[in-house]
C-alpha cells in the first residue's frame, strides 16, 4: 500500500471534524485521531497536521456566528480561536505523549523559494526534535489577495515544500464520486485517479460537496499541486473515529496517484523558472563529497561569482570550471564571500549570527 511506503505524511483536518453543528467539540474524535497519529509515528512516519478551526473555535468562544463575520472581524476571531485550537491539540495529544508545535503560514512562505526553504528546514528540525507540527494559515494578517483561502491548498503547498509522500485530506465525504452522493443514489466512489484531467473530465466538481471553505473543487486544485510535486493525495471521510486507521483497513476513499516521480518533481522545482544568479567554484574534495550525496559546505568553496540572495538558484562548478550541479544557496553571495574556505563552526563568528551550516543542502541540489 502507498500509505505504508510513505515516509512523510501531511494530514489536513477541517473545522467540521473538530466542532460539530451544535458547536460542540468532538473530543472523542480528536482522541481517536491522536491515537492514529501515534501509530503512524511508531511506524517511523513523519507527520504534519494542517488543521482549520481557528475561526470556528473563536466563534464558539465569543458566541459569534461565522456566516455573519466580515474579514477584519474574522481575523480577530481567528487570533482568539488559534489559541483555543492549539490548547485543544495540546491537551489531547499530550495524553498520548505526542509533542506538538504550531506553524502559521502566509501564502508567501510557500510560494517564495527562499521562504519555503526556511519553512522546510523548520519542519525538518521539528521532526528531529520529535514534534508534530500543526499548521494553519496565518489568518490574522492574510487578506484576500494574499491568502491560500482554504486549507486544502495550504496543505498541498505544505506537502510540496516538505517533499511529502502523501497528503490526506480528511473531509466529510468518502472521496470523489461520479455524481453528488448526497443527491444521487447511484453515485459511485472513484477509488483511484491517475490521470487528473482525463479521469475527472465528466464529473461536476462544483456539485459534489458543499462543506467547509474548501469544496471538492479546492480539493482537485490541491490534487493538481500534489501531482506536480510527485506526492500522492487521498480524499477520505474524516468523520469516522480513527479516520486514518479506517483508510488503512478499508481503503474506502479516493487516491490521486501522482504520475511524476518525486525526485524529478523536486529537481524540476529546483532548476525551474529563474535562471542561475551566480556560480560557486568548489575544490575536488567537495566535489567528491557532493557526488557521494553530501551537502556543500563553506570549507569546499574556492570562489563565488555573481550577486545573489539566499534561496537563489546557483551553478556549482568544479575546479576546472565545469558545471556539474545546480542548487539553491542557503546564503547570499555576500555572505559566501566572507565564509568561503572556512569550517562550518566558524560561520557564526564570522557573520555574527546563527545560520545554517550547509551552503547548498543536498536536498536542494541537482547533479547534472
In the complex with ligand GLU, the residue whose CB is nearer, 233 or 281, is 233
Distance between CA atoms of residues 171 and 167, nearest Å? 12
Taking CA atoms, 157 is separated from 9, 252, 254, in Å, by: 13, 25, 20
Contact residues toward ligand GLU (CB under 6 A) are 14-15, 52-56, 78, 136-137, 139, 150-151, 212-214
| Cell numbers representing residue 363 in the block | 536536498
Closest contact distance (angstroms) between CB of 257 and ligand GLU is 24
**Of the two residues 151 and 329, which places its CB atom closer to ligand GLU in the complex?**
151
CB 196 within 8 A of CB 260: no
Q: How many residues does the chain have?
A: 368
Nearer to ligand GLU among residue 54 and residue 244 (C-beta): 54
* For ligand GLU, the closer CB: 138 or 330: 138
Phi, psi of 208 (to 5 degrees): -80, -25
Which of residues 22 and 186 has its CB atom nearest to ligand GLU in the complex?
22
DSSP type of residue 96: T
Which ranges of 162-304 does DSSP label H, i.e. alpha helix?
Answer: 196-199, 216-229, 243-250, 262-271, 284-291
b/e 14-39 (16+ beta carbons within 10 angstroms → b) = bbbbbbeeeeebbeebbbbbbbbbbe
**Is 108:137 a contact under the CB 8 Å cutoff?**
no
Cβ closer to ligand GLU: 170 or 316?
A: 170
- Alpha-carbon distance of 47 to 39, in angstroms, equals 11
Q: Given the complex with ligand GLU, which of 168 and 316 has the nearer CB atom?
A: 168
CA distance 139 to 352: 34
The CB-of-310 to ligand GLU minimum distance in angstroms stands at 28
- Closest CB to ligand GLU among 52 and 258? 52
C-alpha cell at 279: 556560480
Is the sign of the CA dihedral 247, 176, 54, 10 positive or negative?
positive
- For 51, residues 6+ apart whose C-beta sits below 8 A from its C-beta are 12, 13, 18, 85, 89, 134, 135, 136, 151
Q: Is residue 94 a contact partner of residue 71, using CB atoms and an 8 Å limit? A: no
The least distance separating ligand GLU from the CB of residue 72, rounded to whole angstroms, comes to 15
Closest approach of Cβ 154 to ligand GLU, in Å? 7
Using CA atoms in the order 119, 225, 314, 364, what is the torsion angle rounded to 10 degrees?
50
Give whichever of 243 and 278 is closer to ligand GLU, judged by the CB atom: 243
CB of 362 to ligand GLU, least distance (A): 33
Give the position of cell 517564495: 112
**Minimum distance from residue 13 beta carbon to ligand GLU (Å):** 10
Task: Give the span between the Cα atoms of 278 and 298, in whole angstroms.
Answer: 15
Name the minimum Å distance from CB 239 to ligand GLU.
15
**Cα-based angle 13, 19, 23 (whole degrees, multiple of 5):** 160
Distance of CA 345 to the CA centre of its chain: 30
Quick check: 179 and 186 in contact, CB under 8 A? yes
Q: Minimum Å distance from CB 139 to ligand GLU?
A: 5
How near is the Cβ of 52 to ligand GLU at its closest, in Å? 3
Q: How far is the CB of 351 from ligand GLU (least distance, A)?
A: 36
Closest CB to ligand GLU among residues 214, 243: 214
Amino acid at each position: 500500500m502507498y500509505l505504508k511506503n510513505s515516509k512523510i505524511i501531511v494530514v489536513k483536518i477541517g473545522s467540521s471534524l473538530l466542532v460539530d453543528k451544535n458547536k460542540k467539540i468532538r473530543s472523542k474524535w480528536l482522541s481517536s485521531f491522536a491515537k492514529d497519529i501515534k501509530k503512524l509515528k511508531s511506524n517511523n512516519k513523519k507527520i504534519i497536521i494542517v488543521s482549520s478551526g481557528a475561526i470556528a473555535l473563536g466563534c464558539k468562544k465569543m458566541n459569534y456566528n461565522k456566516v455573519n463575520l466580515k474579514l477584519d472581524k474574522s481575523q480577530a476571531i481567528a487570533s482568539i480561536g488559534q489559541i483555543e485550537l492549539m490548547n485543544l491539540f495540546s491537551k489531547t495529544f499530550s495524553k498520548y505523549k505526542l509533542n506538538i508545535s504550531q506553524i502559521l503560514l502566509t501564502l508567501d512562505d510557500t510560494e517564495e523559494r527562499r521562504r519555503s526553504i526556511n519553512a522546510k528546514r523548520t519542519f525538518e528540525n521539528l521532526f528531529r526534535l520529535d514534534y508534530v507540527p500543526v499548521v494553519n494559515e496565518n489568518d490574522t494578517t492574510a487578506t484576500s489577495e494574499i491568502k491560500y483561502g482554504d486549507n486544502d491548498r495550504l496543505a498541498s503547498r505544505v506537502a510540496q515544500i516538505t517533499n511529502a509522500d502523501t497528503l490526506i485530506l480528511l473531509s466529510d465525504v468518502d472521496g470523489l464520486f461520479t455524481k453528488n452522493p448526497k443527491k444521487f443514489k447511484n453515485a459511485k466512489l472513484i477509488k483511484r485517479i491517475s490521470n487528473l484531467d482525463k479521469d475527472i473530465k465528466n464529473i461536476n466538481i462544483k456539485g459534489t460537496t458543499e462543506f467547509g471553505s474548501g469544496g471538492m473543487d479546492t480539493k482537485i486544485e490541491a490534487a493538481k499541486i500534489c501531482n506536480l510535486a510527485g506526492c500522492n493525495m487521498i480524499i477520505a471521510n474524516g468523520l469516522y473515529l480513527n479516520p486514518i486507521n479506517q483508510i488503512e483497513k478499508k481503503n474506502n476513499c479516493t487516491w490521486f496517484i501522482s504520475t511524476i516521480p518525486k525526485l524529478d518533481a523536486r529537481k524540476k522545482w529546483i532548476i525551474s523558472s529563474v535562471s542561475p544568479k551566480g556560480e560557486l567554484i568548489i575544490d575536488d574534495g567537495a566535489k567528491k563529497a557532493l557526488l557521494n550525496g553530501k551537502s556543500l559546505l563553506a570549507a569546499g568553496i574556492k570562489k563565488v561569482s555573481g550577486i545573489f540572495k539566499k534561496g537563489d538558484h546557483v551553478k556549482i562548478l568544479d575546479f576546472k570550471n565545469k558545471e556539474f550541479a545546480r542548487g539553491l544557496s542557503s546564503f547570499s553571495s555576500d555572505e559566501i564571500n566572507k565564509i568561503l574556505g572556512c569550517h562550518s563552526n566558524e560561520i557564526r563568528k564570522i557573520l555574527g549570527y546563527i545560520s545554517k551550516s550547509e551552503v547548498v543542502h543536498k536536498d536542494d541540489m541537482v547533479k547534472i
